[in-house]
Every structure is written in C-alpha cells, then in structure tokens.
Amino acid sequence: MSKDVAIIGVGQSAFVRSYQGSIRELAFEAFREAMQDAGISTGDIDASIICSAPEYDNQRSPSGIIAEYLGLNPQPTFAVESVCSSSTTGIRVGYSMIKSGLHDLVLILGFQKMSEISSADSQERMGRGADIMWEAPFGTMMPAYYAMHAQAHFASYGSTEKDLALIRVKASKYGILNEKAVYRKEVKLEDALNAGMVASPLKRFDCCANADGASCIIMASQARAKEMAKKPVWVLGLGSATASMTLTGRDALNGLTCARVAAEKAYAMAGVTPRDIDVAEVHDCFTIAELMAYENLGFAGPGQGAELIRAGETYIGGKIPVNVDGGLLSKGHPIGATGGSQVRTIVQQLRGEAGAIQVPNAAIGLVHNIGGVGVYGNVIILGR
Amino acid sequence: MMGFEKFGHKSFTSQTKVNAFVAALESNELKGTKCISCGNTYFPPRADCCGCLGSDMVWINIEGPGNLLSYTRVNYAPTGFEKDVPYTLALADFNGTKVFGRLSSAIAKEETMVVMSLKAAVVNLPDGQITYEFIKA
C-alpha cells in the first residue's frame, strides 16, 4: 500500500437542473471550493486536466477557456474524456503525472452543462455513445441499455423490480440530506414501484436525472501533501478496464466486466479486499447499476447483491454503506462532473468531515465510476 | 463507397467497408464475416480481424433458430425514433453469435421471455430504409 499521491482539496458546485450561467462560471464554483479547501493559490497548480463529455458543449475545446477563467495560464491544460467516467479518468492521468515526477500539484476539473440541449436530444447524443453503426440505428438510449442488463440480471439471479426500488428508497433517504443534490424528496417503495415505465423493467425512479454541475479535485505528491495538507487522503489503488462497446461483444449482461476487472486491479494495487472497504460510492446512474456494482466490486457474490439491499446492509450502520450522499439517483448526473463528486464524498468521509452522513471511523473508501454502459470502468481506493 | 446509410430505422453513418451487409439484407440474408486466415467469425461484420491482423474476409450467414438473451420495451425514444414508440430492443444468441436488434411487434409483451426461440427476418421500411428484426422461430 503506497502513499505517494494524495488528494488535498475537493470541491463541487450544486448539481441543478438548469444552471443559470456559462460553463466557465459553473467550473469556477467547484474550483473555488477545492482551492479554499486545499488552502492554495493558482500559482501552486502545475497543470490542469479538464474532464467533460464534449457532445454537450457548444464551446469547442473547453479546456482552453476554463484554464483561462480559473487563472491557470500558462500552466499546461488538456481534456480527458471517457463519457460518464471522465473525471476519474482525469484522476488516473493526474496520478500518473505526479507519480512520474513530472508535476507536484495537479487540478482535475470535471463539468457538464447538460441543459443546453433538450432531453430527447441528450438521449440521442448519449445513444451515440454506443455503437452508431450497429445499435443506434435501432433507437437505443442509455435507459434501454441498462434495462437490458436489469432484465438479464433478473433472469439469471431472480432479482426483482422491488430490489431496484429498495435501492432508490435508500438513495432518496440520503439525498434529502445532501444540499447539493438535484432531487431531495423522499421516494417511498410504492412510489418507486408504481412510477411510469421508461424502458422495462426500469421505471422513472430507477433513473437518475440529467443535471448541470462541476467538481474539482486537487492532487499532490507525497512531499507537497505532507507540507500543505492537514488531512491528506491517499490514493491507495487505481484500477481501470474496458469492455466491448457493442453489446454483441459481451459474455453476459448480468454484470459489468469492466467494473469487475477494474476492481480486481484496484484491490491488488491497494493490497486490500472488499471486506476492508468502510464506505463506497458507486455509479448508480440507474438502480440496476448499483445492484450490479455490489457484485462486481465483491461486496456480494454473483447474484447475491439483492440480499445486501433487502437486509439494509448498504445503509450507514450496515456491512458496507454505499452512496450515502444520495448517489447519482439523488444528486443528478452531470456526466463529466460525476466521478469527481463521488471522490469528494469519499474524501470527506475519510477526513471525518461528512456531517450527517458520516460513516463512523471510515478509514478506507472506494469509488466506482462507469463510462457509457459498462464501456469504461474506473475504481479508486482511497485511505487516510 | 456509400450505401450503409440505408441500414436501420435511422442511419448515423454512410461509409464502411462492410456495406455489402446492406446488399445481403436486400437478398433477405443476415450476414456476418469470417477471417480466412484465422477463422475468427464476427457479427456485426468487420472488415479487419483483430485476432490475426488480416483483412481477407468471407461473408457467412447468421441462421436460426436463436435464443433471446435480454430485452427491453421502451416507452421513450431518442430524437428521430419518437413515432416508433413503444418498441422492444433485444439481444439474441444464434449458435454462439450474438445479434442486437428489435423484437417484432407481433410478439406480445406477455409471451416475451428470456431464452424464447427466435429467428431474424429482414424488414423493408416504408421510407426505403432496410433493417432486420427478431420473429418467433
């Protein structure tokens, strides 16, 4: 377990349905919070990595305008993209730049302003984040792809729509407490079960909302972290993996291979096992995604994930608290900002600064951030 | 090398080295490719083999019956597909080769279930586009 690279600052804008400002102003909200959290100034930053899914941006090459607005010229900046996992891919790149000795302090800024285009257009563009030759011509979209995984999970393991609804009930319980979440109302079990069908078996409350938002993570070398941070949070393990974008190339749809492989790599690098994780943030863009994550991360055996939520084991006080900030289901999912928001939550947990959602004595936390429908998988293990 | 824009309810790309796939559909056949050098088979069809780096391919028929692996009935559609709602997207297995497509609307919701037996059928759409769907075997 090496402690070579740390996170010394985290920030996040509120996630909202429609941000009344430009992308540079949205980015600044997360940036200011992370810079104040780290207690540093722009001159300390050696490089910035800007993470977003470019299909939503009217501004071409947004890294340039964002680095300018954040006052980060003449330091290097560039874009990183892996759709919904862009900002954890940015963290992977930032880690590499610091570990190599190229830079000491790197800023990772994730953002997305999804409200600039309509929801139908957004689904069409997201659908083109899958295979445009062989799948999109049938009318695909993200809920449909995850719905096919849900149907396959049900058929393989006997999981049910109620199991998925229980995950949404948990998300809403914690979402109410998160002042930066887009959805802060209680969702009762019957509300989730009786909601309108979007793509069977996924109903309205099984799906997260599009949102506008930004996140910012500041990473530092061991020497700078020890000198600058009161409570550095160390990157113990990083795992990344991919799977066939086209569904025909996958062995099975009852889990995400990219997540399973990424988790194995992250656990091996950190030298820990699933039982060592005290708190986790998983990519619950849909309820089924959280259910599959329980199994792909090893919190439950294959097909046994539903037992965790049925027994309440993923609530605070359970075996493995998951998404105690409300998850994407409550916070909303501003594509490029999401991974950074998950990391921020775990950093606050490990510092003991998570307030009402604090998991007592959390020492090791995990982030699972997925790009596309199981195309790109990033798992990060953090420790204090 | 145009022609691929004819494939699907709505096309997003017109150029590919495997656009003979469309001509095969016009002859009522669903085809994948097989690498002559190493024998790897591909559906969707590919022009290049990532197994042996060869590009000498022959066309092979995808034949039924196959089995339904998973499906979803969608009530909302992306831009350009609104008039088709509801429709059912599906993944089927044909003797080890997986095929993505739509399930025929003639298959009732109640009888749709994982592992049901299916075959592929070519569909000529009113606007001149061509595609395939899964029907009961």
First-to-final CA distance of chain B: 35
User: A247 and A222 in one domain?
Assistant: no
* Mean pLDDT score across all residues of chain A: 96
Q: How far apart are the CA of B122 and the nearest CA of chain A, in angstroms?
A: 13
Asked if residue A302 and residue A268 are part of one domain, the reply reads yes
The Cα of A45 is separated from the nearest Cα of chain B by a number of Å equal to 41
Task: Specify whether A195 is located in the same domain as A260.
Answer: yes
- Residue A25 CB contacts under 8 Å (≥ 6 apart), including other chains: A69
Q: Chain B within 8 Å of A158 (Cβ-Cβ)?
A: no
Q: Is position A136 within any domain?
A: no
A38 lies in a domain? yes
Provide residues of B within 8 Å CB-CB of chain A.
4, 7-13, 16, 43-44, 69-82, 84, 87, 89-91, 97-102, 114-115, 131
- Indicate whether A162 and A311 sit together in one domain: yes
Per DSSP, A47 falls in state E
Res A1: pLDDT: 66
Same structural domain for residues A113 and A246? no
A366 in the same domain as A262: yes
Shared domain for A243 and A270, answered yes or no, is: yes
Print burial letters for A235-273: b (CB count within 10 Å at least 16), e (below 16): bbbbbbbbbebbbbebeebbbbbbbbbbbbbbbebbebe
Token readout for B102 is 């739509």
Instruction: Categorize the per-residue pLDDT at A276 as very low, low, confident or very high, splitting at 50, 70 and 90.
Output: very high
Chain A residue with Cα closest to B86? A199
Instruction: Report the C-alpha gap between B107 and B123 in whole angstroms.
Output: 15
Q: Pick from B105, B109, B111, B102: which is nearest to B131 by CA?
A: B102
A290: confidence class by pLDDT, cuts 50, 70, 90: very high
Question: Does residue A125 surpass a pLDDT of 80?
Answer: no
Q: What is the pLDDT of residue A121?
A: 74
Contact A206, A164 (CB under 8 A): yes
User: What's residue A126's pLDDT?
Assistant: 74
The two structure tokens encoding residue A254: 């009852």
- Identify whether residues A226 and A239 lie together within a single domain: no
Can you tell me the distance from the alpha carbon of A115 to that of A19, in angstroms, rounded to the nearest whole number?
8
Q: What is the pLDDT of residue A118?
A: 76
The per-residue pLDDT for B1 is: 46
The total of structural domains in chain A comes to 2
Of A153, A283, A333, A368, which is the active-site residue?
A333
Q: Is residue A29 part of a domain?
A: yes
> Do A155 and A215 fall into the same domain?
no
Average pLDDT over residues B41-68: 96
- The boundaries of the domain holding residue A189 are 141-208+234-383
Highest mean pLDDT of the ranges A126-135, A327-336, B2-11: A327-336
Residue A117: pLDDT band with limits 50, 70, 90: confident
Q: Does residue A358 belong to any structural domain of this protein?
A: yes
How many other CB atoms are found less than 10 A from the CB of residue A210? 22
In this prediction, what percent of chain B has a pLDDT beyond 70?
A: 99
Please indicate, yes or no, whether residues A71 and A147 belong to a single structural domain of this protein.
Answer: no
Residue A95 belongs to some domain of the structure? yes
Is A134 inside a domain boundary? Answer: no
Q: Does A251 touch chain B (CB under 8 A)?
A: no
Residue A347 belongs to domain with CATH number: 3.40.47.10
Asked whether residue A131 is assigned to any structural domain, the reply reads no
Distances B65 to A155, A315, B40, B103 between C-alpha atoms, Å: 20, 45, 21, 14
d(CA A74, CA A242): 34
Residue with tokens 């880690």: A95
Mean pLDDT, chain B, rounded, equals 95
Beta strands A212-221 and A5-12 are antiparallel
Strand partners, B122: B132
- pLDDT tens across B61-116, in order? 999 899 999 999 999 988 889 999 999 999 999 999 999 999 999 999 999 999 99
Whether A198 sits inside 8 A of B12 (CB atoms) is no
**Could you give the 3-state DSSP secondary structure of residue A257?**
helix
Interface of A with B in 123-152 (CB under 8 A): 123-124, 126-128, 131-141, 143-144, 147-152
Is the domain of A229 the same as that of A182?
Answer: no
Is A130 a member of any domain?
no
Known active-site residue A84: yes
Strands laid side by side in the A279-281 sheet: A77-80, A47-51, A105-113, A212-221, A5-12, A233-242, A376-383, A364-371, A279-281
Domain locations in chain B as residue ranges: 4-136
Chain B contact set for A248 (CB, 8 A): 43-44, 91, 97-100
Residue A342, pLDDT above cutoff 80? yes
Residues A173 and A299 in one domain: yes
Chain A window 84-123: which residues touch B at a Cβ cutoff of 8 Å?
Answer: 118, 120-121, 123
- Name the residue among B12, B16, B75 with its Cβ closest to that of A137: B12
E strands present in B8-136? 31-35, 41-42, 57-61, 66-74, 87-94, 97-103, 117-124, 130-136
Q: Residue B79: which of A124, A150, A248 has the nearest Cβ?
A: A124
pLDDT band at residue B2 using 50, 70 and 90 as cut-offs = low
